[in-house]
Structure 1
């Protein structure tokens, strides 16, 4: 056990399928260390408002930040320029046709201020297993039959937990995200979990809410 900065001991997971209360996370949202990436543990994590995020060759780290960045699907913001893109014939969208390719592309995207990728080989395998069991899903964006963008995440039936997206051409990932939000709004999904704040997500209508409110919606 180690102190995590909130006067709570940092929780080290063993073989038991459990997580500590999310209120024990430190100021950065780090909750627990260790465990495994089994389908059962991953699903328990997402249903509890927890997600894995760690670098290659590091211990598995589990997070539950406060506040939480979310998008309420009906509040998606579409700029005038994106409305033109959405109504054009530039992109085509598919779902779950090449899940592995989307995850691989997300793992290779260079992100400002981040060295390497958190989408490790073990993480890829874990999400692939979730995909095979119908939980992890992908949206693919095509331009002239070439995969140019997309996203993937974990679908809990009323909340979509977004994990990562990529874009090889301008607006491709925005196209996927907007299409996702529009579809989930029609299906009356409560929210899209975006995890942590970014300017890009805010520009699309995402907002920060208290973790307690997030959990209330998640577990309703």
Structure 2
């Protein structure tokens, strides 16, 4: 069991302080360093899912991943990423993109996207608590969604967190073949145009592999993250 997270002695409230560029995120919880974590992926257990806690976590390379309390904070020893300019689009997806008449929107239905990402999975970490937490991040401008519509019907989408030039991809869904992937390609192109340096898929998955994502050591990922947040 990972160590329980406690409040530091000051018990000061978390805050977001604006710097010259990206905000400097702080939290009232005493998260440990990833140094010495080795092959374990669990940094700690507990804390909360308030915006300041989540933003601190993402800016330091870890994220919440659990199905029931307590909240588990994860920093995989190998991180699945895709650097800018490395997106692989399969031959079949290229054909689907050419034939597609889907309308792609950004941030038009965030709540519905995260709800459907949870609903299409028989077992999911996207609990009601997680959904509420990321909706708060969306309302603050840190979480985003890309949606694929066919005749005004939402048929695919993806949501994630964007900090500086780093994009953290949380989950995707499709109700029509390739709709989620088409939304992801549009997300990638839009963020690439905004200067994104890498896309974090967190852990290996079929969709990550299909786009050419690969694993890098935790230390490499943390270095990439520091550079992207400058």
Fold equivalence (TM over 0.5): yes
Segment drifting more, 78-87 vs 33-42: 78-87
Q: Distance in 1 between matches of 2:165 and 2:146?
A: 17
Structure 1: state its 5+ residue gaps: 3-9
C-alpha contact (below 8 Å) 1:109/1:166 kept by paired residues: yes
C-alpha contact (below 8 Å) 1:148/1:169 kept by paired residues: yes
Local SS of the residue matching 2:208: helix
- TM-score, length basis structure 2: 0.85
Q: Distance in 1 between matches of 2:172 and 2:159?
A: 7
Residue 21 of structure 1 aligns with which residue? Answer: 33
Residue 91 of structure 1 aligns with which residue? Answer: 102
Q: Distance in 1 between matches of 2:201 and 2:82?
A: 7
Q: Distance in 2 between matches of 1:37 and 1:65?
A: 19
How far did 1:78 drift? 1.0
Segment drifting more, 16-25 vs 68-77: 16-25
- TM-score, length basis structure 1: 0.89
Residue 186 of structure 2 aligns with which residue? Answer: 179
Q: Distance in 2 between matches of 1:96 and 1:79?
A: 26
How far did 1:88 drift? 2.7
Local SS of the residue matching 1:75: coil
Cα RMSD, aligned residues only: 1.5
How many residue pairs get aligned? The number is 207
C-alpha contact (below 8 Å) 2:90/2:210 kept by paired residues: no
Q: Deviating runs (4+, > 6 A) in structure 1?
A: none
Structure 2: state its 5+ residue gaps: 8-27
Match among 169, 184, 187 for residue 162 of structure 1: 169
